Amino acid sequence: MIVDRYAQLVATLADEIPGFRVVRKDQSRLHRTIHYALIGLTFGQMRTYLTDFQTTIGKTVYVTSDWDAWTADHRYVTLRHEAIHLRQFRRYTLVGMALLYLFVPLPMGLAWCRAAFEREAYAESIRAAAEVWGAAYPRRTEYRRHIIDQFVGASYGWMWPFRTSLERWYDGVLASLHE
């Protein structure tokens, strides 16, 4: 019997986090506003917020318009990442997460809290990818580069510029995988 991991994860999150929901990001005025603000704040370098990034705020995961066209496994891996953020919001509250994620210690360049929150979530992405597609998948050069680039590029406001420390972190996550 084939188990739909994604459907199971959605059900688990609905039980764990009352009020949990998945909403299309492009239908949210807030996220359209964030999109344009990010274009300005990153000097035009972050233009794919609405089309390429899932975003969690509070108990809601905001997804791109093509979400339903993704395979269940792809949605599962991504939702595992977002589930970490759901739990972070539960732990730190909406106001606490907003302040820590956006401003501590700086909004860009050295956003230590944002980087810490994202390291936790991307570690889960790596583990989920290994579970679904095999341990070799997150060891692929392009997958590794993609994740590390999220930290050092415009996608998250250049949250952590120290690539070498991120490579050590990534290697540590890989070392924890069960072959």
Digit-coded pLDDT (tens) for 78-128: 999 999 999 999 999 999 999 999 999 999 999 999 999 999 999 999 999
CA–CA separation, 104 and 43 (whole Å): 21
pLDDT value for 179: 63
User: Which is it for the CA torsion 43, 47, 49, 53, positive or negative?
Assistant: negative
* Mean per-residue pLDDT, 124-153: 97
Quick one: average pLDDT of 144-167?
A: 97
Backbone torsion region of residue 157, taken as left when φ is above 0, otherwise alpha when ψ lies between -120 and 50, otherwise beta: left
Tens of pLDDT, residue by residue over 66-82, are: 999 999 999 999 999 99
Confidence bin at 146 (pLDDT 50/70/90):
very high
Q: pLDDT averaged over the chain?
A: 96
- Residue 10: is its pLDDT beyond 60? yes
What average pLDDT does range 30-56 have in this prediction? 96
Q: What is the pLDDT of residue 1?
A: 44
pLDDT greater than 80 at residue 30: yes
pTM, two decimal places: 0.96
**Separation of alpha carbons 168 and 60, rounded Å:** 32
User: What is the predicted pLDDT for the residue at 110?
Assistant: 94
Range of the domain at 32: 5-175
Looking at residues 44-59, what average pLDDT do you find? Answer: 97
Considering its fold, how many domains does the chain have in total? 1
Using the CB atoms, write b or e for 95-116: b if 16+ within 10 Å: eebeebbeeeeeeeeebebbbb
User: Smallest Cα–Cα separation from 66: which of 76, 47, 51?
Assistant: 51
